[in-house]
Structure 1
Amino acid sequence: MDAMGKTRSVLTLTGRFINEAVSFFVFSILDLVDFFLCFLYKVADLFFEAEWKPCYCSSSKEAITNSGKILLSEQGESKIVCLSSTKLQLEEISDTLYTRPSLLSEVSKMTTRENKRGSAVRSKFTVNSTIVEMLQGKIGGQICHPIPRWSDCDCKFCTSWTSSCKESLYVKAEGPKDHDAREDVLFIHGFISSSAFWTETVFPNLSSAAKSNFRLFAIDLLGFGRSPKPADSMYTLREHLEMIEQSVLEPHKVKSFHIVAHSLGCILALALAVKHPNSIKSLTLLAPPYFPIPKGAQATQHMMRMVAPRRVWPVIAFGASIACWYEHISRTVCLLICKNHRFVEFVAKLVTRNRMRTFLLEGFFCHTHNAAWHTLHNVICGTAGKMDAYLDTVRDNLKCNVNVFHGRDDELIPVECSYNVQSRVPRARVKVIEKKDHITIVVGRQKAFARELEAIWNNSSPSG
């Protein structure tokens, strides 16, 4: 037995050494590749960046672009007007970890001019009349849907959000009417996913009693699924919360509600709980990405190292490292895969003989690199320093039940994260599911999970 134990230890150490060595070699090459791609994209952006490509055209007189709003005049000239005031833009930027340099420089220039002259200065420029006519819809007919940006696909599924309200998230609602519902439940999906993560798994497996007593709201977060994907958004925590409020809480008159959240959604769930402490009936968190920050460490950098450790194995950690550390490589992947997702989905179904979950593929592909990159850095990493305060508020100011689920084999968010939540909020109940990972904690055990949710909702006590 001692010999077997020593052999395992040697093999483990050898495996770690090989992983470290290979990781160092691979990521050294990726550093060079990303630098090279950065140069290529800087050159390409001079000619092909979507400065002339509107996100959508609400009338023949205006169009929204990456840098602001183009107002088209009758004389065939146009001028750039920022979508919001400089003050608001600076407030948004201060809440982010990562921002586009072009936007920062533009706001900086405007602020300097305001300080010098005491009033806002709007840059003007003249464009070719043919371009103006095209934007006005005089050439090629009226533009009634977005012209895809470089990372967008032009299929109906990807552009479906443009046919609905552009000021609201896509919301899948089920259950009784307002006056018949006993309580409300908000479902928040994880990173690069969609509301289908819930509607294709949990919703069909809820009992008839639950469906008759609870209004269920599953949303596509801003920039994902069928929700709007504004090119000028920084996808900050504030923007995500405001869109949830104006898409679900306000129009549906939701006063108190349960929250079920997965991964990235757990951060938004905690922030919502802090913002609406008297409205939360229960918090159900699946694989919450909570890493306590060591004393003296920089919160966002520590979070990036924990979520994306720059390792080639396991595969999911390698993918997270690419997405987190290499903007231009991940942008290329988005360009090659997301823009051509219909072909990729066809190949995946052909190889797996339709065993691949279609809704998981759709959720993964239906986003833009802009939304994914900024959400990753500004929400997951950028709020790392706020998580302690959020959990302390839940512990001290909320009376709702807190339940945490985690897959034992989760290779992206380790199970220790859930125990970290419990250490901060002692009343939180942690349930570790054996032989389940980051996705199969729900997918594959949806019936059991639906029963667990119903028990939580029925046993929860009102907050406040």
Structure 2
Amino acid sequence: MIASSFQEKCISVINGAPTWAVFFLFDLLDDFLCIVFRFLDLVMEEKLQSCHCKSPQETTDFPGHEFLSDHQHLSETLYRRRNVFRQAGFLRFARKLPEITKKIGIVTFLRKFLFPDKTKKVPREFANRWSDCGCKNCVSWTNTDKLNVIVKQPSITQDLLMSNKPVENVIFIHGFLASSSYWTNTVFKYLPETTENAKYRFFAVDLLGFGDSPKPRDSRYSLKEHVEMIEKSVILPNNLTSFHVVAHSMGCIIAVALAAKFSGSVKSVALVAPPYFADSKGGASCDALDVIAEKKLWPPTSFFSAMMAWYEHIGRGVCLVVCRHHRTWEMIIKIVTWRRKLPTAITELTKHTHQSAWHSMHNVICGGAKFTDKHLETLINSGVKINVVQGDKDDIVPIDCLWNMKAKFPEVEVEVIAGTDHSTVIMSRREVFVANLVSLWASSGKKQK
């Protein structure tokens, strides 16, 4: 027994050694990139941008960083991410190098050398960062302060005007690194504009920081901000006094928060693959990071999630290479695939900034975990129907999230779809998915008490 246990531990250590080595190097690389980006921010923007490599008390030294004043809406995972070199304090002096070079005059010299004709500045609150793409499509959001919303509603006919069918409003919320096209290019064509008992009006939003919606550089993309922007862009302008919500992945956390805020108006909530983490000991945010972005090398999706979630500056470097130069990559893909037009899933993948993706990952997926229980309790006490669907082969959100939610909230209706994953749970069964939604909406006419 002892020999067997020792052998298992040895195998575990051997298998974990490559993972430990890779992420040990990432720890070092992220700290190095912290120095590089701090220096480049000084040169390119004349301002030292704050990051989350230090504790909240230290980061308040940087102008415009309201970490402490709004800390309840931010995730502790932003500054509790473990890093061997940061914890040891090896690079504490090195991080002061950008400020030292500025005092010496190197920064001013480089700025004048690189930008000799730069006299006018774009207002800082609207300008994209130097590491973000500045093409016409990527900065079009500066013309509005509301989310981009795609609306599908019945064509106005005489018969429809004469009918007394009630209007059922439905808000669709996409997941991480997606946009409204996740819904409009897939399930929208199967949605009925009218049924025997109701006529429908559908709203698909681009969340704050994604798609064609605003991507303000000073936003923290907190759960509160996401909810307020949907309220400002959809609910208030369209005077929605009653509505249903449908959401996928990260959007589920926002959907539950939105529904809880308007628990007197929402009639049903349909969630697909929600990342749920019970907050029994107040550590839901850190638990969410450990589960959603566990440090492992395989499968590749898990490795990429861990790299982007744990390492702020490596993630910014990836966005600098991929998102800032998305037009080049799209041209290469068109040449290789002989396509004139790329699938929307590819073009929409880069429609975000590092700021919006990084903070949404932490402040919504991780930070929102500590509020989900309270929001679900509010909805259940208000008699709102909650339906949850997830694929049994989902390798992004563990199926345990579904069962944990059901165990804590038995009133939630759950369904596991065999043979589907995080995306195909909808994409491979669009007509069935829509039929189930229509059935849910029809049965939600009266709240369950």
Normalised by the length of structure 2, the TM-score is 0.77
State the shift of 1:177 in Å.
Answer: 7.6
Find the counterpart in structure 2 of residue 410 from structure 1: 394
Alignment match, 1:380: 365
- Specify the alignment match of 2:146 in structure 1: 168
Q: In structure 2, do the counterparts of structure 1 residues 342 and 422 end up closer, same or farther at CA, with 3 Å as the change threshold?
A: same
Cα distance in structure 2, aligned partners of 1:279 and 1:19 = 52
5 Å-filtered alignment, 1:38-57, equals 38-49=34-45, 51=47
Distance 1:191 1:210 in 2: 32
CA deviation digits over 1:365-396, x for unaligned, max 9?
A: 0000011111111111112222222222222x
Alignment of 1:244-283 (within 5 A): 244-283=230-269
Contact 1:236 1:375 in 2 (8 A): yes
Structure 1 position 345 matched with structure 2 position 330? yes
CA distance in structure 1 between the aligned counterparts of 2:367 and 2:24, rounded to whole angstroms:
25
Distance in structure 2 (CA, Å) of the matches to 1:320 and 1:356? 28
Contact 1:19 1:312 in 2 (8 A): no
Determine whether 1:159 maps to 2:144.
no
Instruction: Report Cα offsets for 1:261-294 as digits up to 9, x if no partner.
Output: 1111111111112211111111100111012246
Q: Which residue of 2 aligns with 1:108?
A: none
SS of the residue corresponding to residue 383 of structure 2 reads: coil
Q: Note if 1:25 corresponds to 2:9.
A: no
Alignment pair present for 1:369 and 2:354: yes
**Number of aligned residue pairs:** 387
1:21-420 matches, cutoff 5 A: 21-49=17-45, 51=47, 91-97=69-75, 134-135=120-121, 147-163=127-143, 166-176=144-154, 182-209=167-194, 213-293=199-279, 295=281, 298-349=283-334, 351=336, 358-395=343-380, 397-420=381-404
CA distance 1:91–1:340, change in 2 (3 Å): same
Change (3 A) 1:438 1:355: farther
Counterpart AA for 1:402: I
C-alpha distance in structure 2 between counterparts of 1:455 and 1:360, whole Å: 28
Distance 1:134 1:150, change over 3 A: closer
In the superposition, relative to structure 1, how do residues 175 and 41 fare at CA in structure 2: closer, same or farther (>3 Å)? same
Determine the C-alpha separation between the residues in 1 that align with 2:219 and 2:301.
27
TM-fit CA distance, 1:168: 0.6
Q: Which amino acid aligns with 1:263?
A: S
CA shift at 1:38, angstroms? 1.2
Shift in Å, 1:240: 0.9
Q: Contact 1:280–1:462 at 8 Å: present in 2 too?
A: no
The alignment partner of 1:209 has SS state of: coil
**Cα separation, 1, equivalents of 2:359 and 2:299:** 24
Q: Distance in 2 between matches of 1:332 and 1:375?
A: 17
Q: Who is 1:458 aligned against? A: 442
Q: 1:147 to 1:294 in 2, by over 3 A?
A: closer
Identity %: 40
In structure 2, runs of 5+ residues without a counterpart are 1-7, 51-62, 80-111
Tell me the amino acid that sits aligned with residue 95 of structure 1.
H
User: Within 1, Cα distance between the matches of 2:29 and 2:427?
Assistant: 36
Letter in 1 for 2:302: A
Asked whether the 8 Å contact 1:411–1:437 carries over to 2, the reply is: yes
Q: Letter of the 2:23 partner, please give it.
A: F
- Please give the root-mean-square deviation of Cα atoms over the aligned residues, in Å: 3.5
| Partners of 2:146 and 2:213 within 8 A in 1 | yes
CA distance in 2 between counterparts of 1:428 and 1:379 reads 21
Whether the 8 Å CA contact 1:422–1:430 is kept in 2: the answer is yes
What's the secondary structure of 2:291's corresponding residue? helix
- TM-score normalised per structure 1: 0.74
1:176 Cα deviation (Å)? 3.2
Report if the CA contact (8 A) 1:408-1:435 is conserved: yes
The match for 2:5 is none
Pairwise CA distance, 1:307: 1.0
- In the alignment, the residues of structure 1 paired with residue 170 and residue 425 of structure 2 have an alpha-carbon distance, to the nearest angstrom, of 19
Q: CA deviation at 1:447?
A: 2.3
Aligned to 2:426: 442
Equivalent pair of 2:77/2:285 in contact (CA under 8 Å): no
Alpha carbons of 1:310 and 1:229: their partners in 2 closer, same or farther (altered >3 Å)? same
In 2, the alpha carbon distance for the partners of 1:354 and 1:438 equals 27
Give the CA deviation at 1:148.
3.9
Q: 3-state DSSP class of the match of 1:403?
A: strand
| Higher mean C-alpha deviation, range 442-451 or range 25-34 | 442-451
CA distance in 2, matches of 1:328, 1:421: 34
